[in-house]
Amino acid sequence: MFVSGVPVMFYTPETRFAFGASAISLFNFKNDTLNARRSSMSLGFAYTQNKQVLFYLPFNLYLKNRRYQVYGELGYNKYLYNFYGLGNNQADNYVEKYGVEFPRLRLTFLRKVSRRFYAGLRYAYDKFSLFQLDPNGQLVQGLIPGSKGGLISGFGLVSVYDSRDQIFNPSKGLFGELVFYRNDRVFGGSFDYNRVALDVSTYLSYKKTILALNVYSIYSNTDLPFFQMANLGGQKKMRGFYEGRYRDNNCLVLQAEYRRHLFWLLGFTVFADAGQVMHRYEDLSSTHWQYTYGAGLRLMIDQSQKLNLRIDVAVGNKKILPYFTVAEAF
């Protein structure tokens, strides 16, 4: 078993600098075979320059040599977010602030079906309480789904294909996750809706070079609360936009990243992304694509797990946004 406690510092455009502490435990169970994937549990706390509070306890347990996998997160967040309206046609300079406080539970249970294929169930719980709404904004009017807060409680069917050689920094293989999720008042939620999420990444390598490709899509034929909608932006999906810069019931995102090792523990990347949001999937249009691009440096901080410190600079809508965090975007 490996246990480590470290101070935490990261930077994203949504939080600015954040400071805190984190502890992580990496371990194998007693009957695991040699070189089996290690389970992990983390505990962290952070406070940001934007007066946001984050508490998180993510976990990923591989049982019986990954015959079973249980992963998820227990957390609490108190955040100030930007809201840019819904759809693709909001004014470029439109933004309003809102606060949200919520406890979070995510729990996924998977069983191995074949060598690389897993299937199981997911449960999701969030209780959103909104505060500090802009008196001149759209949310305060109460017309947008979820603008009065509410409780998320629902179950999903999950299927996963995973042939990656590494979890944090793969050089070859494919990862795909498909989730059919239902939020329902029967489960105690405040909303009734369906959502299908697809996330597929593939990795191709030649010598010191890796090409990583990602396709991400959210599909729903119902109206979602705005805080559960598909959105573009943030540190993982279309870096270069503030998180939620474009938001609606559906989305399609395409990402490509060229990664190359330089020397010692250092590497660099260049990346480009394209995506759009839609009220309904049939509204997918060639005129609504949004684009971002950027470059970054990598410093490997854990050679056994190939875990990188990530420093990215991305451009979107003629804005330059920096990111300083751990692990690859996909």
Tens of pLDDT, residue by residue over 116-162, are: 999 999 999 999 999 999 999 999 999 999 999 999 999 999 999 99
pLDDT score of 39 more than 90: no
So what's the pLDDT on residue 1?
Answer: 54
186: helix, strand or coil:
helix
Share of the chain above pLDDT 90, in %: 72
Q: What is the pLDDT of residues 269-299, one digit of tens each?
A: 999 999 999 999 999 999 999 999 999 999 9
Give CA–CA dist 155/178, Å, rounded: 13
Query: Token pair for residue 324?
Result: 């300083």
282: helix, strand or coil:
helix
- CATH for 2-326 (2.40.160.50, 1.10.8.590, 2.60.120.10, 3.30.70.100): 2.40.160.50
- Contact at 8 Å (CB) between 181 and 218? no
CB atoms within 10 A of CB 285: 10
- SS3 percent helix, strand, coil of the chain, rounded to 5, is 5, 65, 35
So what's the pLDDT on residue 172?
Answer: 96
Q: What are 271's strand-pairing partners?
A: 257, 294
Average pLDDT over residues 36-57: 86
So what's the pLDDT on residue 8?
Answer: 75
Give CA–CA dist 43/53, Å, rounded: 14
Which residue has better confidence, 38 or 213? 213
DSSP letter at 95 equals -
Average pLDDT over residues 78-100: 90
Q: What is the pLDDT of residues 298-313, one digit of tens each?
A: 999 888 778 899 999 9
So what's the pLDDT on residue 228?
Answer: 95
Give CA–CA dist 280/29, Å, rounded: 46
Residue 45 Cα to chain centre, angstroms: 18
Q: What are the two backbone dihedrals, phi and then psi, of residue 14, each rounded to the nearest 5 degrees? A: -75, -30
Query: Token pair for residue 229?
Result: 């909608």
Residue 166 identity: Q
So what's the pLDDT on residue 2?
Answer: 46
- Contact at 8 Å (CB) between 53 and 38? no
Give CA–CA dist 238/124, Å, rounded: 24
Share of the chain above pLDDT 70, in %: 98
